[in-house]
Amino acid sequence: MRWRLAAAGTLIGLALCELLLRLAGPWLPVDLTTRALQELHPVYGVFHRPGASAWIRDPEFKTFVRFNREGLRGPEIPSSPAPGVTRVLVLGDSFVEGAEVEEDQTLPSVMAKRLTEAGFAAEALNGGVRGWGTAQEYLYLTDQGLALHPDIVVLVLYVGNDLVDNSVELSGLAPDGTFSRPFFVLDRGQLVQLPAIPALASAIDPLLHVARSHFTLVNFLESAVAVRLAYADRAEVLRSVHRLVFADPPPTQWEQAWAVTEAVSLGSDGGGGCGDTGGDRRAQHPVPPGGGATQSATGRHGVGPPGPRLSAASGCRVESAPAPAAAGRAGRAAQH
């Protein structure tokens, strides 16, 4: 009898916690995300859960984030732009996704608003995904992005961690690195993709997937407890690894990461197409077809050595960006 009472009390307690988080989650004095927003993806490693939405609370902000059926942040969109409207697809990581600000304050939203105010009818699609590197953005463009018929594609490159995300060697050194993402290498001047290394699975993964999708309490325990502790422990090591991007000249591994990043960013493999794929170990990926303009740009305080290199590779002038109003938000986004 006692075990039944104990079980009933536990279930009632969990149900009350779940109800409290659903009703008052955004206003509770804790850091949390009230829903799992990403899931494993066979091509990109991870991607947004289509149709997912969540409240995110942090000491610096509180935002509501939603993703449409295409997995992009924002409202539902038609497959093609309206007549007379220029569609801009913005690719990037957490800086583009902008979970730290409201939907109408993200880079793509502000871009579309300013273009429209200037008399240039435009809409911007938010193709930013927290934790992505340039290789994932390239694969998304060729796999899904071009099907949305963008007239212009803008690639936002964050030198603070994108080079690590694009290098299989550097990902093994950085505490936030992961091998559960696609990687490209340059082999005899040809851009080829290494075989994907799937995330380690366990017997309880299917159960966790259901729990994350339906129970706010599970997401709270992961986002407000486990993940926060992990980031706090590796913060200093993270900074020490990523600051090597500003070395001049760069170490050998960083030079290789630069070469891969430049090739993937520009859709160039040195010959306008992919060559020998090395048997069945690697997959070919053609250069994105023409029809849309592609530009690469970046901005940060004191661009330093990466600045001239990005300018030469992209044909864009790269300058220091003005100080953001909320430097803390940018710093938080840079962790991903």
Tell me which residue has tokens 């250069």.
Answer: 287
Does residue 88 fall inside a structural domain?
yes
Contact between 285 and 269 (Cβ < 8 Å): no
* pTM, entire model: 0.73
Instruction: Look at residue 9 in the predicted model and tell me its pLDDT.
Output: 83
Does residue 178 fall inside a structural domain?
yes
Instruction: Look at residue 316 in the predicted model and tell me its pLDDT.
Output: 62
Does residue 200 fall inside a structural domain?
yes
Does residue 275 fall inside a structural domain?
yes
Does residue 1 fall inside a structural domain?
no
Does residue 67 fall inside a structural domain?
no
Instruction: Look at residue 179 in the predicted model and tell me its pLDDT.
Output: 59
Strands laid side by side in the 61-66 sheet: 32-33, 53-58, 61-66
Q: How many domains does the chain have?
A: 1
Instruction: Look at residue 240 in the predicted model and tell me its pLDDT.
Output: 52
Of the candidates 106, 119, 98, 86, the residue with the CA atom closest to the CA atom of residue 48: 98
Instruction: Look at residue 59 in the predicted model and tell me its pLDDT.
Output: 75
Residues 6+ apart with CB under 8 A from 54: 33, 34, 35, 36, 37, 64, 65, 66, 219
Q: What is the 3-state secondary structure (H, E, C) of 227-270?
A: HHHHHHHHHHHHHHHHHHHHCCCCCHHHHHHHHHHHHHHHCCCC
Does residue 72 fall inside a structural domain?
no
Write out the residue range of the structural domain in which residue 298 sits: 84-334
* Average pLDDT per consecutive 10 residues, the chain (336 residues; last block may be shorter): 80 83 69 72 90 82 92 94 95 94 96 94 96 93 95 90 87 60 87 72 67 73 59 48 70 86 68 30 37 39 59 60 43 46
The strand pair at 152-156 and 190-193 is best described as unpaired
Does residue 195 fall inside a structural domain?
yes
Instruction: Look at residue 331 in the predicted model and tell me its pLDDT.
Output: 44
